[in-house]
Structures are given as C-alpha cells and as structure tokens.
Chains A and B, each alone.
Chain A
Amino acid sequence: MSVFNKSLIQKSIGIGVLAGALVFTASVIAGVADQDIKAFQSSIQKKFPAVEFAEFANGAYAFDMDAREQWLEMEEFAPYEIALEEGEELFNTPFANGKSYADCFENGGIGVRQNYPYYDQEQNQVVTLELAINQCREKNGEALLGYKKGDIASISAYMAYTSRGNTFTQNVPDDPGAVAAYEKGKEYFYSRRGQLNFSCASCHIQSSGNMLRAELLSSALGHVTHWPVYRSKWGDMGTLHRRIAGCNEQVRAKPLAGQSETYRNLEYFMTVMSQGLNVNGPGSRK
C-alpha cells in the first residue's frame, strides 16, 4: 500500500492553501525587494480580484474551474505518486560512504523546500534545492545527477512533499552579490528573447489568464511553489528548470543548461516575487 495515499494528498493540498491564507501576514520578510514584491503581487491581485492570494500557488487552476475540477480528479490518483515513493527511497538510501542526504540538510532534509533558493554568501551564488542535492552528492563522492528529470526530480519531489504547507519567505538581503543575482533574474524575466521575441512577462504577466492555443496562461505569482511537476505532456516528472528550458524552446530561444547561473538567478527572482505563498509540490500539470 502506498504511503502517499490519495486522501492524504488531497488533504495536504487543502491544508497548504488554508495555511497560506492564515500564515501570510506573519511570515513576510523585509528586504531589498520589498517594493518589487508589493508592486508585483498587488498588480496581479488587482488583475484577478476574485482569486484568493493563497490560490495563486495552484497556477492556472486558480482561474479555470473546469480545469481545476479535472486537476483535483487527477490528484485522486496523483501521477507523481511513483516518483514520490522513488524519491523517498533514494533520499533514505545511504551513499557509499555511509552518509545520506539527511546529513547535508538542516532538519535532516525534512520540511526544508521553502528555504530554497537562497543566496549563499560563501559560495557567491544562488543555491536551489536541486543544486544543493547535487552538492550533497559531490561532497559524499557520488556522481552528479542530471538537473531536469530522473532521480533529481524524484528526490526533489519527496523533499517538496515533506514541506507542503510551509511558506516561502525569501527576500533579498542587503548583500551586493544577492542583489546582483536578484537583479539578473529580474532582467531575464522581463527580457524578450528568441525568434518569437517573448519574455516570461509577455505570457505570465501581460497575458496571464488568456488562452494560448488550448491552454490558459498561468500567472507568474506562485510559479515556483508546486515544483517538481508530473507533466502529462512529458509523461514524466520534471524540474522547474526543465520547464524554463521548454519555455525557451517555445519562443525559439536556445535553452540553457539546467541549474545554469542564469536559470538559478531567475528562480531566485521568481521565488522572491512569490513570497508568502506555500509549498504545494510536487504538482501535476497538463
């Protein structure tokens, strides 16, 4: 019998949404990006006045009730369940040297998803959860995992699942490196690229809530909360960076490598903009 039973998964989605509504006010962290966060979130909430703040964590399913019904039905037999079980096993399997992932993360790696990404002042770079997973492996003499799918997605899925309902509180500390990384992520988000000349903002700010072919475009607010994701189109789990690369391809821009500095800076910016929302990963999407 699966540890991650259906009713538990549905309940945890509900709890995550409610907890977000209750906890938001208390957990906002002040920082360099205060004005950006306020402007970003209030602009989007003004565009979608009927959507509760916490619901933005559910992406397009916050706007489209038919799609939401289908999504909730999909969660009855969550397509990421197998990845969750695999992820738990991988997470708990010791490395060759006897240590495990639990030795690399605070709280043994349980309930920590919301702490990523963050700007590491010693490493002078943004550290995402997937980067931290591979850094743990490297530290313990293990081969690195690919960053877009496979085991990294399963382990990340498990760690996200143990963190459901926890709140993203990221802001940007008053550190030149952190500010630079955040600004680069912001630049990427708003810069047009590719032959089709679209930016992330083109679809997920200006056109959010509109249809693009057969799909409703989600808002950038809450984009990071539900990763990694089982995507029906992939028939597979994938990380946020896999999806970012896919978006690049869709606008005919050559994608970058998963966990490239640019993608990590972008994830940093996106997470700061989603400050106050809760972890609700892993997710399932079309």
Chain B
Amino acid sequence: MTLLINLFQLSIMLSIFLPNNDSMFPDIEGYQKMGKLEIYNPDNLYDCINGAADSYLKYDFEELKLLRYKGNTDQFLKIEIYKHSTNANAFGIYSNERPLKINWVDVGAQGYYESKILNFYKGQYYVKLMGYKIDNIEELLLSVANKVSDYLEGDNQFPKLLEAFPEEGKIDYSEQYINRNFLGYKSLAEAFTVDYKVDDKEFEMFLIKKNDANICRKMLEDYFTSIKMDKENIKEGKIQVTDPYQGEISIIWNNNIIVGVINCSDIQLIKKYLGFMSNKLKMN
C-alpha cells in the first residue's frame, strides 16, 4: 500500500534520523520527551504555526526548535525556541506579542505567565512554553523556563537604545521594536517606540538609528515622497512633519539618528522629551 507522506510528515521523519540535538531542552522530572526534536526554518514555519508565521518572518526569524513532553497521565508540555537574526529582532517579536498588563516573571531579559503559557525573551531567542492539564503549572513552567534560559546564549538585557527614552510618563511595558513598515511606510524601518501618558496627554516617541547620515537622509526623502511633502525641508535639526494618516510628527535628525514624537499637541512637552533624548544620545 502506498502511503502519502506530506511535507509536514516528511519534516518529522527527517528529524527522526537527524542527530538528536535537543540539549537546550531540559529533562523534566515526571515527564518524558515525546518524539524527536522538530526544527523549522523560514521556508516551512508556516507548516507549524500557520498564518502567525508572517509576524515571525517579519522579524528575520531563522529557526524554531520545538519539543513536546508527556507526563505520567495525560499532562502535556511544549517548548518552542524561536531564534532570530538579532537581539533587536527577537525583542521585536516578543514585544509585538507582549500584553501591557500581565503576570510578569523573572526569567531571561523579561517574561510573563498567563493561563498555561509562559513566554520570555533572551538575546536572539524568543521562547514559548505551554502546558495542558498540569497541576501547579505556573511553578513548573517557570522552573523549566529558567533552565532553558540558562542554556541559551545572550545576556538578560533589553536592546541598549531603549535606555535613551525618558522614564517620566512612560507607559510600562509599552516598548516595542518595529523593524519594517513603521507608521505604515516602507521607507521607515528599525524603529524603537515607547508610549507615554503625561497629564492625560498620550503620545508616542520613536528612535531610529542607522549606520550613517546618508541612510537617514534617504529614509526621510523616501518618507517625504510618500506623504507628498517638500524634500527641501529635510535638513539636520528639527523637522515638523504633517503626515496625512498619522497627523503631526515632530522630529530631530542628527547624523545617523532620528528621534520623534507622534500625536502630541503640547509644544513644551515635545521640546522637553525630544530634548532629553537628544542629550542622552549626544545629538548636537
């Protein structure tokens, strides 16, 4: 009888005959590893997580290693370790999915637990653990997460550029990294963003750092083309932008750094916050 073996099953089959490189997955007392390590790359991530794959691919996803465990009765645990090209990209996908309010846990650079799921981020890795029918599940997932974190390379730090954002008025856990299509424009990319609330005024700040000033200039020129603004106004220093979809954006550009405030109508606040970042980043 001829068996039809589809792509997904072939991946599993090949992994059976590959070296069992699951050393980053710890032994868990009372649980056995089920099957073999599943490994996915950008070409077949879709087979594992369907349409959600697009978000990961956007953040330069490189590899997913996945392993399942079974308990003595019908407990079940799964660990997914996503590797991205850079610390910033791993932070990007982590922050993209991270809620603002949740039960934070001390693992990796940051982690959280919610309803049988524990996710954390460390270095280039975004790690997701989930359990099913497990007693004291939060305690178990935290213990396992720390073991995985200890194995992974990288430090327990957020991307350094986030330190340039002011603390006053920052909405906790609102930091994000948008690596493509920032504000809905192909020209704007690799932006760190933070949300603020000051005296009932809500606004967003962003920071883009490129390799050199010419890249920043090109970025702004392309952006201005998209929003039909006069490119003659692009000069290092303060730039006021009227975006047809986002509204007013106040920007300071110096050399290879652009910082900005979106959706703020208070000129004093704009000056204060952009001034802070400008000083912190030593922008002239």
Instruction: Say if A and B assemble together.
Output: no
- Which residues of A pack against B, CB within 8 Å? none
